[in-house]
Amino acid sequence: MTEPILQAKGVTRRYGSLMAVNGIDLTLQSGEFLALLGPNGAGKTTLIEMIEGIQLPDAGSIQIMGMSWNEREKEIRRLIGVALQETRFYDRLTTEETLRMFATFYDATDRIQEILDLVRLTDKRKVYTMGLSGGQRQRLALGVALLNNPALLLLDEPTTGLDPNARRDVWAILQDLKSRGVTMILTTHYMEEAENLCERIIIMDQGRFLASGTMNELLRNQGGGDILEFSLEPQALNSPDLHSDWSDTPGFIALEKPGQGRLRIIVSDVRPALQYLMQRLGPDSWNLRELVCRRMNLDDLFTRMTGRHLDHNATEN
């Protein structure tokens, strides 16, 4: 087996009594795209900044292509590209001037046009950075991270705060990089981002890894299942039948009550379960206010493991 591009062992970082990162082991092979998914305060930035050499671990070791930060800092800097959770640019420099400034650090001024094309900012090259939209700024930060043609790209929430279109634009660029063989770790609290971009997903919470694997592995390890969720109009809500046992549902795995009068039945296959539901509701099926059948997603998994949601903007309850 070839040497991993990243190997972290027992990495720990405390802030006072808080364990921001608590004994993390992580190995990443060349060409992998890894998502670190977790809610606010999970420890994603702290961990990625230790990999980036910005923070020092209190305990544990980090090696990038077999090299450690305290011995081979210069070589590692040449291998990695970094985009922080928030990047501040000089307002009075244009997009192109900003790239040129960073490019001189890496002796990469000949790559500016290529980077502008790659992050789709060629038409904004003469625009001052203060005049860029949020999505364009994120793309510029990505462009800066790519100047040294990194083997390992470390992106901390590359699409937070962007609207869905701008987010998809960034995803397209990252897919493009993937096809060129770049290795990447990105942090996110958007499950769609992790699912769409990364074959391996690590769910992180309170400084620890809760689960790791491909989407299918995560679903399988947590019992998987399809979700049938419904609510009824208020006049039917007191129907005693609704609150009784649902374990006779075909393929029944679990019942959850997410609030707002909704019932969520987790089953192995949604089709027979749906048929059963309609039969059981009988005339009350006219009182269905909402009916959703879907595959289990990462937020469901996270909720199952922690009782909380991944994204603080999630609206349940």
Which residues in this chain contact ligand ATP in the complex, by CB under 6 A? Answer: 15, 18, 20, 38, 40-46, 85, 189
Cβ–Cβ < 8 Å for 172, 140: no
**125 versus 309: smaller Cβ distance to Mg ion:** 309
Residue 205, beta-bridge partner list:
208
Segments in 15-163 forming alpha helices (H):
44-51, 69-79, 95-106, 112-118, 134-146
Q: Which does 135 bind (CB under 5 to 8 A by kind): Mg ion, ligand ATP, none?
A: none
Contacting residue, 5, 21, 43, 45, with Mg ion by CB under 5 A: 45
* Cα–Cα distance for residue pair 157/44, rounded to 1 Å: 9
Residue 158 beta carbon to ligand ATP: minimum distance, rounded to whole angstroms: 12
What minimum distance in Å lies between the beta carbon of 23 and ligand ATP? 14
Q: Which 56-85 residues touch Mg ion, going by CB under 5 A?
A: 85
Q: Which is nearer to ligand ATP, 29 or 85 (CB)?
A: 85
Q: What is the DSSP string of 108-128?
A: -GGGHHHHHHHTT-GGGTTSB
- Say which residue the tokens 């009550």 belong to: 257
Q: Which does 55 bind (CB under 5 to 8 A by kind): ligand ATP, Mg ion, none?
A: none
CB of 36 to Mg ion, least distance (A): 9
**C-alpha to C-alpha distance for 160 and 87, rounded to whole angstroms:** 12
Per rule CB under 5 A, is residue 159 in the interface with Mg ion?
no
The 3-state DSSP composition of the chain as helix, strand, coil percent (nearest 5) reads 40, 30, 30
With CB under 5 A as the contact rule, which of the stretches 4-12, 41-49, 213-221, 268-276 interacts with Mg ion? 41-49
Decide whether 8 or 108 has the Cβ nearer to ligand ATP.
Answer: 8
